Amino acid sequence: MKIHEVEARKIFEAHGLPVPPSRLVESPEVARQAAEELGCPVVVKAQVLVGGRGKAGGVKLAGTPSEAVEKAEAILGMEIKGLTVKKVLVASAVDITREFYAGLVIDRRSRKPLMMVSPAGGIDIEEVARTAPEKILKVVIDPMWGILPFQVRRMTSFLSGNRDVARQIGRALTALYRAFMAVDASLAEINPLVESPDGKVWAIDAKINIDDNGLYRQKDITELRDDSAEDEGEVEARLKGLSFVKLEGNVGCIVNGAGLAMATMDMIKHYGAEPANFLDIGGSSSPEKVLAAMHIILRDRNVRSILINIFGGITRCDDVAAGLIEARKQLGIDVPLVVRLTGTNEDKARELLGGTELIPAATMDEGVRKAIEMARA
Amino acid sequence: MSVLIDRETKVIVQGITGRDGAFHAKEMIEYGTQVAAGVTPGKGGQKTDCGVPVFDTMEEAVRATGANTSVIFVPAVFAADAVCEAADAGVSLVVCISEGVPVQDMVRVLPYLGERGTRLIGPNCPGIISPGKSKVGIMPGDIHREGPIGVVSRSGTLTYEMVYHLTRNGLGQSTCIGIGGDPVAGTNILDAMELFAGDEQTEALVLIGEIGGSDEEEAAAVIEAGYPKKVVAFIAGRTAPAGKRMGHAGAIVTGGTGTAAGKVAAFEAVGVEVAETPEEIAGIVKNLL
């Protein structure tokens, strides 16, 4: 789960990172008040859950309270990568002498937290990794020890020759690690961490992604979820316990299992059409889930046919068939449904579907071809 | 010979009185797996419908039965504790079926297992099957046949689809390992390849990868350096958009890394044929043998 910069700043601050004061505002007039209270200059920053806000014009400097109003007016309502800006953060601006990068992820290779720092802050770290990998230092952290003092020293001496600045960066990195572990983060990033002309170190941006699997023990963070940043269908799917991603094509699919769902999309593309979605109904085959899945897919007006691809193991094919018949009745579905059911109780399922308008397919391959044919008809 | 499990494997089911645990314990017994005991805290002293004794703790269960393997069906909230309990009780193999385990739990669990020499498969996985010998997991047993093909996969039902085609084409399996769809797994593709490298029964290996991470690219490097078995691959997620999690916690393309195209290219560069559809896999394996 992604959280807004304003919330990430609060988490960083609570763990001892130096973050310039700020106010979250929803109207230009309140932006004036915030700028007056904080003292100018201030930075006005769009609060949307995508990267590249600066490049899109969603981050602006304001020298006076009136300018803060102007900038807030320009940014509020703006669209960034398809998301409308509803709130802006007005933050005290910091003069910058140097910009650093500091980030933490769970490293899949070492299966441990990995901290990355770079003296080339303020730009996309993946760009730095491509063009100047020697400017990135990576340190694997033992979760049972936490970040060790020698590791902090290695990183700070890599970043700054100034002893006082290095000490402040060291404290910031330690705080970053603590914040990361405390909130079940899968990613935490300060880009940039800056040094100001008076030799002070500040985190002037904040990004945290939370591991969805850890949310059950992060109640405060769960409440921060911003549904407006997601596709409506994706929100509904999450609430119904389904995994759904909307795509641009016209062949819908409902599949049990994430790997098989991806393989189904890939096969649709392989045979020359475009999938409308990724949808994994999971291991359970309750008619309610099938109904919810249908409802979500049919929100998308582009969908011309739907393929139901089930490899029943634990999932019983006759259960899915019953759910499909019910869904067709309740939702008044008018797009063709191609059904491939293999595995447990497939014969029973075939009997159930016999007298209906559902189109049977014996294999995944046949199902995909038929669904494409129907979408084109 | 098979890897990890065979006829001698003695299994304890953690969470045996729950809905999933009870159902799959029965299925495993019907397949022929030696299910020696179950564990559910607070329910010790009972017997399940299949006559399996239930214990309160793993320590008691191992002491009473001499089991060497556990399979976990407890809710994700308790999964890390269950894995550690199994390792502490001395089993050498733990299979964690539970889905939704926080990644930071796994990060702490793995060193604990390392110190005790316990191998973990999963979490969020279908388990392992050595057809004709033993099944420790939730896969449908009847689609498998004993034979010379090893299977390693990050997915569940996609593996069933692939195995179904292998079996229909007369290609039985030595062992199929579902390593799970999480970003941090107890056993990754490389670990599984190492296991199969020394297995006499296995003549060829089918790797079923997907977007996210770099296991497949690293597997390609291992193959280039000289791997003793023939390898065929399939990669799911060619059409997955970047930045979106495709069901599995680990199936996500970030910052241009972990793409299906990159993985396919890595395999093809070292001469590993990558099937475009699940059905193609059997033909490719047949040509190879």
| Secondary structure (H, E, C), chain A | CECCHHHHHHHHHHCCCCCCCEEEECCHHHHHHHHHHHCCCEEEEECCCCCCCCCCCCEEEECCHHHHHHHHHHHCCCEECCEECCCEEEEECCCCCEEEEEEEEEECCCCEEEEEEECCCCCCHHHHHHHCHHHCEEEECCCCCCCCHHHHHHHHHHHCCCHHHHHHHHHHHHHHHHHHHHCCEEEEEEEEEEECCCCCEEECCCEEEECHHHHHHCHHHHCCCCHHHCCHHHHHHHHCCCEEEECCCCEEEEECCHHHHHHHHHHHHHCCCCECEEEECCCCCCHHHHHHHHHHHHCCCCCCEEEEEEEECCCCHHHHHHHHHHHHHHHCCCCCEEEEEEECCHHHHHHHHCCCCCEEECCHHHHHHHHHHHHHC
**Mean pLDDT, residues A150-178 taken together:** 97
Which residue does chain A place closest to B106, by CA atoms? A111
Do B175 and B278 lie in a common domain?
yes
On the question of pLDDT at A332 being above 90, the answer is: no
User: What pLDDT shows up at residue A321?
Assistant: 87
User: What pLDDT shows up at residue B241?
Assistant: 92
Do B92 and B222 lie in a common domain?
no
Q: How far is A214 from chain B, CA to nearest CA, in Å? A: 5
Do B255 and B162 lie in a common domain?
yes
ipTM, interface predicted TM-score of the complex: 0.95
CATH of the domain at B97: 3.40.50.720
Counted domains in chain B: 2
CATH of the domain at B240: 3.40.50.261
Residue B131 in any domain: the answer is no
Residue B113 in any domain: the answer is yes
Residue B126 in any domain: the answer is no
On the question of pLDDT at A225 being above 90, the answer is: no
Q: Which domain does B204 fall in, by range?
A: 139-288
Q: How far is B45 from chain A, CA to nearest CA, in Å? A: 29
Establish if A61 touches chain B: CB-CB under 8 angstroms.
no
Do B152 and B188 lie in a common domain?
yes
Instruction: Identify all chain A residues contacting B106, using CB atoms and an 8 Å cutoff.
Output: 111
Pick the CATH number of A98-222 from 3.30.470.20, 3.20.20.70, 3.30.70.20, 3.40.50.2300: 3.30.470.20
Residue B1 in any domain: the answer is no
Do B116 and B143 lie in a common domain?
no
Interface test with A, best of B106, B157, B274, B281 (most A CBs within 10 A): B157
User: What pLDDT shows up at residue B194?
Assistant: 97
Q: Does the beta-carbon distance from A106 to B104 stay under 8 Å?
A: yes
pTM of the predicted structure, to 2 decimals:
0.94
> Which of B71, B88, B121 is the endpoint of a domain?
B121
Residue B130 in any domain: the answer is no
Residue B75 in any domain: the answer is yes
Which residue does chain B place closest to A274, by CA atoms? B239
Establish if A233 touches chain B: CB-CB under 8 angstroms.
no
On the question of pLDDT at A264 being above 90, the answer is: yes
Do B115 and B223 lie in a common domain?
no
> Which of B53, B88, B121 is the endpoint of a domain?
B121
**What average pLDDT does chain A have?**
93
User: What pLDDT shows up at residue A191?
Assistant: 95
Where exactly are the structural domains of chain A?
Answer: 21-92, 98-222, 231-376
Do B172 and B205 lie in a common domain?
yes
User: What superfamily does domain A231-376 belong to in CATH?
Assistant: Succinyl-CoA synthetase domains (3.40.50.261)
Residues A90-121 pLDDT 10s: 999 999 999 999 999 999 999 999 999 999 99
Q: How far is A348 from chain B, CA to nearest CA, in Å? A: 17
Residues A276-326 pLDDT 10s: 999 999 866 677 888 889 999 998 999 999 999 999 877 778 888 888 888
Interface test with A, best of B98, B206, B239 (most A CBs within 10 A): B239
Q: How far is B64 from chain A, CA to nearest CA, in Å? A: 31
Q: Which fold has domain A21-92?
A: Dna Ligase; domain 1 (3.30.1490)
> Which of B89, B121, B153 is the endpoint of a domain?
B121
Do B156 and B260 lie in a common domain?
yes
Do B110 and B153 lie in a common domain?
no
User: What pLDDT shows up at residue B115?
Assistant: 95
Establish if A258 touches chain B: CB-CB under 8 angstroms.
yes
Establish if A199 touches chain B: CB-CB under 8 angstroms.
no
Per-residue pLDDT of chain B (289 residues; tens, 9 = 90+): 899 999 999 999 999 999 889 999 999 999 999 999 999 999 999 999 999 999 999 999 999 999 999 999 999 999 999 999 999 999 999 999 999 999 999 999 999 999 999 999 999 999 999 999 999 999 999 999 999 999 999 999 999 999 999 999 999 999 999 999 999 999 999 999 999 999 999 999 999 999 999 999 999 999 999 999 999 999 999 999 988 899 898 888 887 789 999 999 999 999 999 999 999 999 999 999 8
Do B144 and B265 lie in a common domain?
yes
Percent of chain A at pLDDT exceeding 90: 75
Do B151 and B279 lie in a common domain?
yes
Do B67 and B106 lie in a common domain?
yes
